[in-house]
Chains A and B, each alone.
Chain A
Amino acid sequence: MENELSIILKNDKAGIQKVRKGFDEFGQSHQLQQTVFLDAHLVLDEVLTNIVEYGYDDKKEHLIEVQIRLYENVLEIEIIDDSRPFNILETGDPDLEQSLEEKPIGGLGIYLVKKLMDELEYCRQDGRNHLVMKKKITVQVEKDDQDSQS
């Protein structure tokens, strides 16, 4: 069974907030597993903020499309935008071993996306970035599961 949410937003903070609200409703009405819901909010925040803040060289209005597809065992989030080419899979990872003094402030957001999502796919098509992020939804354990012995 598939359930979908599609949102088109402008490349600004209000647009990102629109996505947060839309996904809040979607998550609640579909009773999405809490960890999946929170991870999805986080990656939406990171990717959309990245696009809005760093993706464009001009001051023009651009549109970004967010498609969310809920399947029985996986949540898929696709983000389509016409900002400059950005393949998340090709970014280097920040050095996490650094001490407090040395720690840089940047690079974390995209790293969190790579670590929290189970699968990432990227392609550039017709002048647009297409990023698909997938998060598995774990199967609910039955209460009378044979493994549970008290």
Chain B
Amino acid sequence: MEIRETKEGTVVVLEPIGRLDTNTSGEFEKKLVELLEEKEERFVIDLTHIDYISSAGLRVLLMAAKRLKNMNGSLVLCSMSAHVKEVFDIAGFTPIFTIVLSQTEAIKISK
């Protein structure tokens, strides 16, 4: 899967493209783990180009959130479509993540 990656100061901004399902979540997890092992601590995941996320994708985000919390790092999600937000709400994930509307806002609060 294509994952666009940029860095804004100390914040890593990832923009996965397509779907976060059982097929693609492994690659996304690998990218996150790679960055975590390089000691990156501030992450923004921009979901503009994610059509839908299945439980596999949710699990990857949960893993990242748990690890970052243990490191006193941060994870901010932004630009979710209505459908992705609905899945987050149903899964009970909305209260445990920091979710904002725009990437600009996400980067701002990550610094």
For the complex formed, measure the closest distance between the CB of A33 and the CB atoms of chain B, giving whole angstroms: 11
Q: Which of A16, A38, A97, A112 contacts B91 (CB 8 A)?
A: A112
Q: Which of B22, B66, B83, B96 contacts A45 (CB 8 A)?
A: B22
- Confirm or deny: A82 has a beta carbon within 8 angstroms of a beta carbon on chain B: no
Which of A68-76, A103-111, A141-149 faces chain B? A103-111
In Å, the complex CA distance between A93 and B1 comes to 31
For the complex formed, measure the closest distance between the CB of B93 and the CB atoms of chain A, giving whole angstroms: 9
- Confirm or deny: B23 has a beta carbon within 8 angstroms of a beta carbon on chain A: yes
Q: A34 — nearest CB in chain B belongs to which residue?
A: B83
Which of B37-45, B47-55, B101-109 faces chain A? B47-55
List residues of chain B with CB within 8 A of the CB of A46. 54-55
List residues of chain A with CB within 8 A of the CB of B65. 100
Given known pairs A38-B51, A41-B19, A112-B91, the reply for A49 and B66 (CB within 8 Å) is: no
Q: Which of B51, B62, B69, B96 contacts A105 (CB 8 A)?
A: B62
Q: Which of B52, B69, B91, B92 contacts A41 (CB 8 A)?
A: B52
Q: Which of B23, B51, B55, B62 contacts A112 (CB 8 A)?
A: B55
In Å, the complex CA distance between A84 and B90 comes to 28
- Confirm or deny: B34 has a beta carbon within 8 angstroms of a beta carbon on chain A: no
- Confirm or deny: B87 has a beta carbon within 8 angstroms of a beta carbon on chain A: yes
Given known pairs A38-B52, A42-B52, A99-B96, the reply for A108 and B23 (CB within 8 Å) is: no
List residues of chain B with CB within 8 A of the CB of A103. 62, 96
List residues of chain B with CB within 8 A of the CB of A38. 51-52, 83
Q: B66 — nearest CB in chain A belongs to which residue?
A: A100
B55 adjacent to A109 (CB under 8 Å): yes
A112 adjacent to B66 (CB under 8 Å): no
> Hey, which bits of chain A sit against chain B, CB under 8 A?
13, 16-17, 20, 34-35, 38-39, 41-42, 45-46, 49, 96-97, 99-101, 103, 105, 108-109, 111-112, 115-116
Which 7 A-B pairs give the minimum distances between C-beta atoms?
A: A96-B92, A109-B55, A108-B55, A38-B52, A49-B22, A45-B54, A45-B21
> Hey, which bits of chain B sit against chain A, CB under 8 A?
19, 21-23, 51-52, 54-56, 58-59, 62-63, 65-66, 69, 83, 87, 90-92, 96
